[in-house]
Amino acid sequence: MPLPDITIQLKRLPHGAGLPLPAYATAHAAGMDVVAAEDLTLAPGQRHAVATGFAIAIPEGYEVQVRPRSGLALKHGITCPNSPGTIDADYRGEVKIILANLSSEPFPIARGERIAQLVPAIVQRAAFAEVDTLDETVRGSGGFGSTGR
Ligand SMILES: O=c1ccn([C@H]2C[C@H](O)[C@@H](COP(=O)(O)OP(=O)(O)OP(=O)(O)O)O2)c(=O)[nH]1
Ligand SMILES: [Mg+2]
C-alpha cells in the first residue's frame, strides 16, 4: 500500500504567475514534473539554474529530490549535473533546477516547458560515533571495482 501523501506548502513567486504547479503526469508516476519559469537557450556545455517561480516548505523529516527527465537526457543531453538535487526542509528560497547541456547543439527551453521532476523522500539522519577500530569484514578495504568488471 502506498504511504499517504505529505503536504508541501508552495508559495508562488511573482514571475511564477500563471504557471502550472508541479504535477504527476500519470497515475503512479514517482516524480512531479516541474516547469521552467523563464525562456532560455542552453549553449553546448553550459549550465544554468533555471527559475521555477516558486518556493516551498517541506515538512520536517523529508526532502525533495530534483531529478532529470530521461527524454531530455537521452534525446538532447539535458541533465541535472547535481542529480539528485537536494531541496532541504528548511530552504525557503526559490527552487531552481540546475540544467547542463551535454550535447553539441544549443537547446532552447520555453517558459512552461517541463524540465525536471521532483521526488519527495523520507530523510534518515545520523550521528557519527568516533572509534579506534572498526569490525572486520570479508570486503575489508576492497572497493572501486575490487570484485571485477
Ligand atoms: O537542484 C537544486 C539543489 C539545491 N537547491 C536549493 C535548495 C537546497 O536546500 C539548497 C542547498 O542545496 P545543497 O545543499 O545541495 O547545496 P550547497 O552547495 O551545499 O549549498 P548550501 O551551502 O546552501 O547548503 O539549494 C535547489 O533549489 N535546486
Ligand atoms: Mg548544502
Model pLDDT for residues 61-120, shown as the tens digit of each residue: 999 999 999 999 999 999 999 999 999 999 999 999 999 999 999 999 999 999 999 999
**pTM over cut 0.80:** yes
**Ligand 1 atom at minimum distance from 80 CA:** 1
Give the pLDDT band of residue 19 (cuts 50, 70, 90): very high
- Please enumerate in sequence order all residues whose Cβ is within 8 A of that of 111, keeping only pairs 6 or more positions apart, or say none: 19, 35, 36, 37, 38, 39
How far apart (Å, rounded) are the C-alpha atoms in residues 110 and 143? 44
Per-residue pLDDT at 1 exceeds 90? no
Where exactly are the structural domains of the chain? 9-122
What is this model's ipTM?
0.99
Q: Ligand 1 pocket check: which of 87, 118, 119 to mutate, most ligand atoms within 8 Å of Cβ? A: 87
Q: Which residue ranges are tagged as binding site for substrate?
A: 69-71, 82, 86-88
Q: Ligand 1 pocket check: which of 86, 88, 117 to mutate, most ligand atoms within 8 Å of Cβ? A: 86
How far apart (Å, rounded) are the C-alpha atoms in residues 62 and 112? 27
Average pLDDT, the chain: 98
- Please enumerate in sequence order all residues whose Cβ is within 8 A of that of 105, keeping only pairs 6 or more positions apart, or say none: 44, 76
Q: What top-level class would CATH report for the domain 9-122? A: mainly beta
Model pLDDT for residues 34-78, shown as the tens digit of each residue: 999 999 999 999 999 999 999 999 999 999 999 999 999 999 999
Distance 87 CA to ligand 1 centre (A): 6
Question: Which residues form the pocket of ligand 1, taking CB atoms under 6 Å from any ligand atom?
Answer: 66, 82, 85-88, 91, 95-96, 98
Q: What pLDDT is stored for residue 49 in this prediction?
A: 99
